[in-house]
Amino acid sequence: MIKPPKLKPKATIGIINPSYWLAEEKYEQTANIFTDRGFTIVRGKSTFLKEDLYGGTPIDRAEDIMDMFQNPDIDAIICARGGYGANRVLHLLDYETIKANPKIFMGYSDITAFNTSITQKTRLVTFHGPMLVTFNDGFVSYDYSHMIEILSSNAPHVITPPNDLPLRVLKPGKASGPLWGGNLCLLLNRLGTPDELNTDGTILFIEDIGEKLYRFDRMMFQMKMAGVFDNINGLIIGELVAMEDSDPPFGKTSDEIVMDICGDMGFPIVTNFPCGHGKYQATMPISIPAELNTNGGSPTLTILESPVSGD
């Protein structure tokens, strides 16, 4: 894999908005999370644009990504928000140019599409982690400190949950493999396309927000029938935010759905992990070797090597 240069103090961070449009007040209330800590922010043109629901046209957003990768003054690229719209941009990117200009690229939600496509096509490590909107409701020390450690340290890293977000072990065990995943809906939408995620041998993590339980069951079952779970080594279910039941009730909890679909498969499973749309968002380096240990009373995910390069 190609590891991007580590994030250094006072680095210049390019902020882009390659999916849904960004309300100006959202930028103003979150950018200081980085500037107050010594970083310089450069806004991409997509953070100023609105084309229907999006941060500009697909060409605008693709050009913004490419400009950030090619600009030698930009040290890292962080997305402002997710939403919807990445699927219109993926085919417009110049992946060879991205590969030739490796930088930290980070986001979650709809940004899952960019993370998986960039890393699969270029072998550049990307990061499923905090965006500007992560800090809409204020500074979250857990999110920021984990992000900085992952992006700037040369050492392995152990991800443990905060005390008020206990993990739930559905199947004990210990497994290792490259870490891949992201938003369930986005991974599902990639099936049958050139950007489909190859999950063989991986520690797979998935998360989602605002789904009915029956829809979660449908998506998980489709993933199983498509063979997504056939050859994975471990499964992490992130915090499933704002999941709702139906009337009449579906009859299973989200954990019961996971076990109904994956319980007979031979890999460890943990749920309620701090990644995705909840308050707590661990930074997950895509494609980096990791070890999932759900044995004992304190499940952990260990990032086995640094995902960044440089002293």
CATH number reported for the structural domain that contains residue 63 in this entry: 3.40.50.10740
**Total structural domains in the chain?**
2
Burial class (CB in 10 A: 0-12, 13-18, 19+), 95: middle
Using alpha carbons, list the distances in angstroms from residue 220 to 63, 180, 227, 228.
34, 16, 11, 9
Domain end point (choices 85, 113, 139): 139
Kindly state whether residues 134 and 232 are assigned to the same domain: no
Question: From the DSSP assignment, how many helices (H) and strands (E) are in the chain?
Answer: 9, 14
- Domain-located, residue 276: yes
- Domain-located, residue 132: yes
Residue 233 near residue 196, CB atoms below 8 Å: no
Kindly state whether residues 172 and 60 are assigned to the same domain: no
Q: What domain range is 48 assigned to? A: 12-139
Per-position pLDDT tens, the chain of length 311:
999 999 999 999 999 999 999 999 999 999 999 999 999 999 999 999 999 999 999 999 999 999 999 999 999 999 999 999 999 999 999 999 999 999 999 999 999 999 999 999 999 999 999 999 999 999 999 999 999 999 999 999 999 999 999 999 999 999 999 999 999 999 999 999 989 999 999 999 999 999 999 999 999 999 999 999 999 999 999 999 999 999 999 999 999 999 999 999 999 999 999 998 999 999 999 999 999 999 988 899 999 999 999 98
What the block records as the tokens of 178 is 């490259």
- Domain-located, residue 279: yes
Residue 134 near residue 283, CB atoms below 8 Å: no
- Domain-located, residue 16: yes
H or E element, residue 237? strand 234-239
Kindly state whether residues 299 and 163 are assigned to the same domain: yes
What gap in Å lies between CA 222 and CA 224, rounded to an integer? 5
Domain end point (choices 107, 139, 171): 139
Kindly state whether residues 208 and 178 are assigned to the same domain: yes
CATH of the domain at 205: 3.50.30.60
Kindly state whether residues 170 and 131 are assigned to the same domain: no
Among all chains, which residue has been given the structure tokens 């700037």? 152
Kindly state whether residues 283 and 162 are assigned to the same domain: yes
- Domain-located, residue 54: yes
Nearest Cα neighbor of 199 from 207, 208, 190 is 190
